[in-house]
Amino acid sequence: MKGADYRKKLVWNPEEGIHVNPYYREEDLRNLEYLRQPGSLKKPGTAPNSWLICQDIELKNDAGESNRRIREALKDGAQTVRFLAGDSWKPDTEQLELLLDGISLGDTGVSFKGSMYADLLYENLVRLALQRGTDPSFLSGGLGADPIGTMALTGIPIASLENLGTLVKKVLRRSPSLRVIPVNGAMFQNAGATLTEELGFAMAMASDYMALLTSAGVDPAYAAAVMELELTTGTNYFMEIAKLRAARILWGRICEGYGIGAGQGRIHIHATSSTWNMTLYDPHVNILRGTTEAMAAIIGGADQISILPFELPSGKNSSFSDRIARNTQIILREEAYFDRVADPASGSYYLEHLTDAMAGKAWEIFLMAEAKGGFMKAFESGWVGEVVDASLQRKKEKAAQGRLRLLGTNAYPSFNEFVLANLGNTPVPEENISTGDSGHTRLKPIRPFRLSALFEKVRLETERSGKRPRVFLFRYGDPRWMSARAMFAGNFFACAGYEIVDQPVFRTIQAGIKAAGESGAEIVVLCSSDDAYAELAPKVHGALGKEALTVVAGYPDNSVEALRKAGITHFIHMKSNLLDALKEFNHLLLKP
């Protein structure tokens, strides 16, 4: 430590608003209240850590194609399916018959997300089940009735919630295994919120539903049973594990407030891999992200898990990416044996403390929402959107500066990758790069956001221009500095899709100038040590300045002013704002 402040040097202060020490010991767990209830985070049943492998399928106009994908998914390892319904999708009898053709409704859990017609959906599901000789009591899955979540995503105020209580009572009578309300906490992290904000807002939404249903005469235990909690898992591995464990602790507190005994109000958690960190370029990295996120979800104790196809940002739907998404979970179960240990995080000093810290901070956010009258009131006041947007802006700034890395996009990009010709219809990355305003809606919605879209817009601009600026890496001088800065500069400009021309070290400045001139490069990046730039940079700029931009890799404090006076104005270094710099170079080089 050499006299340095311990807290500044070794204590991590993530955006979640908690403090993480460099190590933990047994005595750090003595005051954790939830540990006094052994087994409270363990799953009931015979399988120690079982979960359902879910395949998400987007509902489009072709119900027959969706049915083919369902059959393929169930044949190849999926245990349940979830349909992602758009605003215009209406569950009429003919559509459902075609969609669920050949699917045993008594044996397969079928869930819907985003359905605007949950009442009609349930009526037609019951009708279809009876036609096939299946008792409606055997129906399982979910109806996707989430009016509060829909309000948050669309910004359209809720007209009435009376029908929800009626639907819940009807489902409880005829199909007690069917969940009605998915509490969509995942939207918050996918819009830029921190993990504790995601969890706190999800609890506030669930609390609003509990208040609504119990006031409609539904028994609190049954009200808890018809809900499921959807959370997303990102690549912050240990925190995601702790978040899911903390969710059960907080849900237990809410249930206690309604007189539900410990262990009786266990909520069903559906974990989905995140979309905010998925990338359009180098898409196979999304497979690695999905694997890490699946592992966190399993260890955290999720009951059902959806891993998204790695091609999702391009708008494609292929059987291959669906299969990889399924196989990720199958391998973790059948080959890595992740289902063999109940609550595998139990006993870890670090994870137990992290679980408690995450629960404490998320509970603070929950109480703040409750103080504003509950989630709906807090959202209508604009407070929820402000909190999410503030977190999003911090993520944007970190990504722009390269401090929040997205492999293959703003760090270690694939130098010769082109995606423009292979883009699907949706989503176009530029359309999702900000939370936007509410437009014709009265409330500001929570909009999904992919962080990599900030950089993808720049790189796609390069592709669309029909030009590909060439960058010449001028290696000269001290090999230690030269190699490190050449690697840095190559990755820097490759983030915008520029062509990188790398050369061996030049023994003389004149040899380098000659090679750079012959390369036809629009940018010449000087890669050397700080003390060499005072001589090197003016000579190169004097010889090539009219043909190419001279860029210095590094920021030589002692000679910066002299170099600027010599006409050299471009410096790239670890503290550069990567995004702003690439935008500036595109502006200079892609002019018509």
Q: Say if residue 224's pLDDT is above 70.
A: yes
Which distant-in-sequence residues (6+ apart) come within 8 Å of 301 by Cβ?
41, 43, 49, 244, 245, 248, 269, 343
Averaged over 182-187, what is the pLDDT?
A: 97
The fold adopted by the segment(s) 47-336+343-376 is TIM Barrel (3.20.20)
How much is the pLDDT for 430? 43
3-state secondary structure 124-152: HHHHHHHHCCCCHHHCCEECCCCHHHHHH
Q: How confident is the model at residue 44 (pLDDT cuts 50, 70, 90)?
A: low
How much is the pLDDT for 39? 52
Report d(CA 497, CA 476) in Å as an integer: 25
List the beta bridge partners of residue 475.
527
**Domain limits, the chain:** 47-336+343-376, 468-589
Task: Count the helix, strand and coil residues of the chain and give each as a percent rounded to the nearest 5.
Answer: 50, 10, 40
DSSP letters of 90-118? Answer: ---HHHHHHHTTT--TTTSEEEEES-S-H
Q: Other C-beta atoms within 10 Å of 25: how many?
A: 9
Amino acid letter, residue 123:
E
Q: Which of 82, 91, 24 is nearest to 57 (CA)?
A: 82
Cα angle 401-198-341, degrees, rounded to a multiple of 5: 105
pTM of the complete model: 0.93
Query: In terms of pLDDT, which residue wins out, 186 or 34?
Result: 186
Q: Say if residue 211's pLDDT is above 50.
A: yes
Q: How confident is the model at residue 495 (pLDDT cuts 50, 70, 90)?
A: very high
pLDDT digits 0-9 by tens, 317-347: 789 999 999 999 999 999 999 999 888 998 8
3-state secondary structure 188-216: HHCCCCCHHHHHHHHHHHHHHHHHHHHHC
Report d(CA 374, CA 150) in Å as an integer: 16
Q: Say if residue 217's pLDDT is above 90.
A: yes
DSSP letters of 299-330? Answer: HHT-SEEE---TTGGGT---HHHHHHHHHHHH
Q: Do 468-589 and 47-336+343-376 have the same topology in CATH?
A: no
How much is the pLDDT for 360? 95
How much is the pLDDT for 438? 45
Q: Say if residue 34's pLDDT is above 70.
A: yes
What is the chain's mean pLDDT, rounded? Answer: 92
CATH code that applies to domain 468-589: 3.40.50.280
DSSP letters of 333-355? Answer: HHTT-TTSSSSTTTT-HHHHHHH
Report d(CA 178, CA 442) in Å as an integer: 33
Give the pair of three-digit tokens for residue 441: 């809606």
pLDDT digits 0-9 by tens, 354-374: 999 999 999 999 999 999 999
Helices (H), 32-101: 63-75, 93-99
pLDDT digits 0-9 by tens, 425-479: 544 444 444 444 444 558 999 999 999 999 999 999 999 999 999 999 999 999 9
